[in-house]
Structures are given as C-alpha cells and as structure tokens.
Amino acid sequence: MIHTAVRYQYTYARAMFPCQDTPSVKTTYSAKISTPKDFRVIMSAKLRNIIHTQDQVMYEFFQRSLTPAYGVVIAVGSLEAARNGPRINVYAESKFIDESRTTFDENFERMLEIADELYGLSLDKQNICVLPPTISPKYFTIQCRNMIFVSPSLLRGDISLISSLAQQIAHLWTEHFVVNYDHMWLSKSIGMFIYKKFINRMPINEKIKEFLLMKMDRKLVKRIEGYKDIDILQNLIPRLGNISPNYLMERVPYEVGCMLLEKLQHELGGPLIFDRYLKLYLYTFLHRSINTQDWIRHLTEYCTTFCPTNEMVTSFDWSIYFFYTEPLIPNISITALETACFNLAEEWTRCDDNAKNIPRKFIEVTSYSDIEKIELLKYLYDSSVGLTVIKINLMSNFYESHESHTYEIRFRWIRLCIKNRWEPIIDTALNFAIHFCTPKYACSIFEDLYNWKEIRLITIEAYRRNEKKFVHETQEKINSILLN
C-alpha cells in the first residue's frame, strides 16, 4: 500500500521545502529520498539512480522540465512495478499490479500516440500510479510530468471507461503555463479543448464519443448551478482577493474557456487552421509563465500573419467569456447512448416475471461497453419502479455484475441490489465498502445499507470493526450517516 502521498496543490509546497510557491516561478529540480528497504519511492520526475544500503534504499530523481512548486508530487509505499511498453511504467499494490498491467497495456500507449499526432509534443517516459482504495483521486488532480495518478476503479475497464486518462495526458503540457491562479483557465480550458480532440480520435464508436463530450457540458451546467450565488466564481478570470487558490480552482467554470476556444476555432476557419495555431502556442510557451493578455497578443499576431483577411480577433468581445454577467450555458441534449440505456431500463422494469423467453436485448447487454453498462445501471437505480427478486436474479445470471467487470460497474450493481432489498448482496456490499473506502463508494453504500432497517445493526457493527481502515475525512462522513 501507499504509506505516504504528498501533493502540494496549490500553495503547500513551502511547508516541505524552501521555494517561491507561485505558478509564475518554475524550476528544474533533483531529489534524494531514503526509505526502509521494503518501500518504493516514486515522484513527478525521472528516476536517476537507486542506492542500496544495509537497511535502507536511497532514490535519486531529476526533473529537467521547468515545473512550479505545486507540480512536485511524492509517493512512498509497498508498490510493485510493471513495464508496459517502451515508455510506460505502472506502479500499484501487489493485489492490483496484474490488473493494472492489463488495463493500461495498449490503450494508454494509443493515447500517447494520439498526443504525438495532434501536436507533435512527444512524451517520453510516463509513470502510472494506481492509488490505494483509501485515497480519493480528487487529491491528485494536478497533472505532473512523468507521473499520472489514477483510481483503482478504472482497473478492468475498457477504453470507453479509461478514456478519462486522455484528459490527464492533454493537461501534461498545459498544466504549468500560467503566471498566476486567476489565469488558470489557460491551463485547464486548453487542456479540456485538447481532450475533446483526443476523444474524436480515439477508437471508440460515435455514440460513446457523443456521450463523453456531452458529459463535459453537463459538468459546466452543474458547476454554474452550484455556485450561482457566488459572483466572484462565475468569471473565467476570477478576482483572487481573500480567497484561497485551493478553494478557487475547484469552482471556476473552465468549461467556458473551452467554449471560447471552440468559438475561435469556428471563426478562424476550422480545426486545421486552429490546430496549427495551438501547436505553435504550445511550443512557444512550453516553459514560460503567461497571462491572458499574453495569450490574446500571441493569437492576434498569429492571425495577422496567417489569416490577414480575418479581422475577427481584433473585434472580438473577450469580456463575454472572461467577465460575463450572465452564465454561458451550452445546449444540453439527451444522447443516443443515454436514450438506448433508458429505454432498456424501462423494459426491464415493465417485463413480466413469468415470461418463458428472455428478450434477446437483455442478453446483448453483455457486449455493451463499460460506459453503457454504467448508464443502464444508473437508470435502473433511479427508476421509481423497483425490480423484483426474480429480475435481479436474472440480471446476476446474465451480467455477472456482482463477480466481474470494473469496480465502478460493481459499485452501481451493489447499490441497485440494496435498493431492491436483494439479500445475497449484503456481504458483498459490506466487503466492497470496506475495501474501496473512499467517500464516493463507502459513504454511498453505508448510507444505502443503513436505510435498510433489517440490517442496520449489522452495517454499524461492520463499520466499527473496520473504522481504522478509513481516512479521517471518510470516517467523519460515515459517522454522520451511521452514528447520528
């Protein structure tokens, strides 16, 4: 397991080493870290050397890419390593290492190839660290050179599920450009824009592409609704007075910046022209700190040189996107994938328990992508019509959701079974919540079980026996559910 994981986003690096803890200051660095011999150290840098002594091991790292202080990440633990191709190393606990190797074998390399094709910024050695189930990936949202942290919930996933890695790859270049946190949209929004291009090039069907892209627009709507009463956070370039960057970064609607880039791409003549500009931008500012005015100036110079007849940039009203008074909300629609999953869920709730022949479409779900299975289970869970024990038994026979598939699918399946009071799921649910003890999984399952009055006492006793396995944040949330 990982015993220590240190990330400094966005203002905590000064607590660990002397530095100018601001995005505008970037530097190369090296590090020497000693641990007991049974532990392994990984870092957001390249491993130069390992020196063994009698009872300790010293790891030497170096990072030649200019990096802000918040981009330094260290993890120490009982980790195993697996080589996946010429430029990918995977680190995980022993119980996850085989699944990790298989999950990221070909798909991750294909994503790196897409990055090379799009913008020519070749990535060399990349490390993937599979976090232990106790640690939420939300604490490692910073993408750093040479290291990507992922949740074990992605393991066993097909390419539709692990496509989220493409967003992390897109941010590997854009994450560290900005001069200050109020201009962070230059990192986040451009990373989102590149991610959309990744999706369109990935070997997945059009229904899944449409769903993944629409999912981003829904996040924007949810973000705006969640913070509609906080004017300072509605702007793409927020005012920083008396606000912690850590609080700010989670609340600025960076999707609006992605909408701005899509608008510019359209006005300037389409993807071919805009991709050339974006490639030049990435090369020009790769190791520099810039602000929004620098970016506008660079775009204007490019358009003057390569698009002299297009005067759109010089007359463009930037305030619509940067300092808008009314939120910019994209058009949201139901995708074909969601419609198909919703209709199938409706048929499951309406079908006759005594039917002799099972509709073929129910069996065909076994060939669905992971994303489609998750959506189907979500609609079944949200349905106002419950499922009978007979139907749950049929589902378990055909989908085997309680024994296989990804952890995310198993999580959805467990919640569906609890909702419909399927008793065989009780032990599986408790074991899953105790094993995957992040708030997303553990709190949801414990709350569902707590609301099942007949097993409430069993649930509370199981949690108390295993309480020390949970991190403090998760303990507080579960205690508020079970012990209120």
Whether residues 128 and 202 fall in one domain: no
Instruction: Please say if the pLDDT value at position 363 is more than 70.
Output: yes
Decide if 105 is inside a domain. yes
Decide if 439 is inside a domain. yes
Whether residues 77 and 108 fall in one domain: yes
In contact, 217 and 332? CB cutoff 8 Å: yes
Instruction: Please say if the pLDDT value at position 148 is more than 90.
Output: no
Closest CA to 175 of 187, 193, 190, 189: 187
Decide if 329 is inside a domain. no
* CA 270 to mean position of chain CA atoms: 28
pLDDT band (50, 70, 90) for residue 383: very high
Instruction: Please say if the pLDDT value at position 68 is more than 70.
Output: yes
Averaged pLDDT score across all residues of the chain = 84
Report the pLDDT averaged over residues 62-70.
Answer: 85
Q: Domain count of the chain?
A: 3
Whether residues 169 and 252 fall in one domain: no
Q: Check the annotation: does 171 bind a ligand.
A: yes
Distances from the Cα of 34 to the Cαs of 8, 127, 337, 359, 479, in angstroms?
A: 20, 20, 50, 61, 37
Q: What confidence tens digit (pLDDT) does each residue in 290-325 have? A: 889 999 999 999 988 888 777 888 888 888 888 776
The predicted structure's pLDDT at residue 261: 94
Decide if 331 is inside a domain. no
Decide if 468 is inside a domain. yes
Q: Which residues contact 368 (CB under 8 A, 6 or more apart)?
A: 376
Whether residues 53 and 141 fall in one domain: yes
Whether residues 161 and 125 fall in one domain: yes
Decide if 328 is inside a domain. no
Decide if 310 is inside a domain. yes
Whether residues 67 and 133 fall in one domain: yes
Whether residues 166 and 196 fall in one domain: no
Whether residues 221 and 302 fall in one domain: yes
We report the CATH number of the domain holding residue 189 as: 1.10.390.10
Whether residues 394 and 247 fall in one domain: no
Report the pLDDT averaged over residues 87-113.
Answer: 85
The domain boundary, picked from 112, 145, 175, lies at: 175
We report the CATH number of the domain holding residue 171 as: 3.30.2010.30
Domain coverage including residue 262: 183-323
Decide if 75 is inside a domain. yes
Whether residues 135 and 207 fall in one domain: no
Whether residues 293 and 160 fall in one domain: no
